């Protein structure tokens, strides 16, 4: 089941929750992101697809303040956030699950999840949210006292997503959530992505599996060499001949 089949895309509003305007990121003299304009409306699940090295992850890192912006602006909830520290953005409800998961290997699953609540001051609700994560990922509940570094890649991805959920995101950025996972684990991860989206959390998804990303999104953007070359409704892009040939392995 896809997000498309669960609900229609939210009605567009004059002011998107996230807006990139002419975003540029450079590493030395190399421009990795070249004047990107992108929007995500409240309640939308939007994907950004493209080949390795296209600039997708760099775009997410720039949104989160993890790499400096060389030009353009990032707006979130009507405010310019370009250059804002990452921890401040988490307080505002902008949360990322990074590529590679970024978990704390020496800490237990429970301790990793607790890190997602570091900006919160409501212990009773934090406990309820933690149990909610365990209900979505029963495998984590069984191993809650286990060191996260001893988990499989799929289980570590569950921990990373659970930690982000406990931060109570208004906008969730997901960077390659299916990377390196077995097919059954990929389906479980995307089942939770669909659940989060159905509960009203806005999501910007980066995913190398273009078919999977488009099947589960309302809208999509296609990035190539740091620039957006296509955009539109996800179902439209899914059937676009250029997308099918370049990213879905069809001719």
pLDDT digits (tens, 9 = 90+) for 75-129: 999 999 998 999 999 999 999 999 887 899 999 999 999 999 999 899 999 999 9
Say if residue 5's pLDDT is above 80.
Answer: no
List the structure tokens of 215.
Answer: 């099947």
Which residues of the chain does CATH 3.40.50.300 include? 3-93+169-247
- For tokens 């209900």, name the residue: 135
Beta bridge partners of 108: 147
Beginning with the edge strand found earlier in the chain, give each strand of the sheet holding 227-233 in spatial order.
94-97, 171-175, 202-206, 45-49, 219-224, 227-233
Helices (H), the chain: 3-6, 56-63, 86-91, 109-115, 123-136, 138-142, 153-166, 183-198, 210-215, 234-238, 241-247
CB 43 within 8 A of CB 200: yes
pLDDT-derived band at 4 (thresholds 50, 70, 90) equals low
User: Sign (positive/negative) of CA torsion 132, 123, 111, 76?
Assistant: positive
Q: Does domain 3-93+169-247 have CATH number 3.40.50.300?
A: yes
User: Is pLDDT above 90 for 67?
Assistant: yes
What pTM was computed for the model? 0.92
Three-state DSSP at 241 gives helix
pLDDT band at 2 (very low <50, low <70, confident <90, very high): low
Q: How many CB atoms lie within 10 A of CB 33?
A: 28
């Amino acid at each position: 089941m896809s997000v498309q089949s669960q609900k229609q895309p939210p009605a567009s509003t004059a002011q998107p929750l996230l807006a990139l305007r002419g975003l540029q990121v450079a590493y030395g003299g190399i421009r990795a992101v070249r004047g990107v304009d992108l929007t995500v409306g409240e309640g939308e699940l939007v994907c950004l697809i493209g080949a390795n090295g296209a600039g997708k992850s760099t775009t997410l890192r720039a949104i989160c303040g993890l790499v400096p912006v060389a030009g353009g602006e990032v707006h979130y909830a009507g405010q310019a956030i370009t250059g804002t520290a990452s921890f401040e953005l988490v307080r505002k409800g902008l949360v990322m699950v990074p590529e590679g998961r970024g978990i704390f290997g020496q800490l237990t699953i429970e301790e990793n999840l607790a890190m997602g609540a570091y900006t919160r001051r409501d212990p009773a609700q934090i406990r309820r949210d933690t149990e909610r994560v365990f209900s979505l990922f029963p495998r984590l509940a069984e191993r809650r006292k286990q060191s996260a570094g001893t988990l499989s890649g799929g289980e570590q991805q569950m921990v990373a997503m659970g930690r982000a959920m406990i931060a109570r995101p208004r906008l969730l950025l997901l960077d390659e959530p299916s990377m390196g996972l077995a097919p059954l684990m990929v389906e479980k991860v995307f089942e939770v992505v669909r659940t989060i989206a159905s509960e009203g959390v806005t999501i910007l998804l980066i995913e190398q599996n273009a078919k999977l990303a488009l099947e589960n999104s309302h809208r999509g953007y296609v990035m190539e060499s740091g620039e957006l070359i296509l955009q539109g409704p996800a179902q439209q892009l899914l059937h676009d001949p250029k997308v099918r040939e370049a990213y879905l392995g069809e001719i």
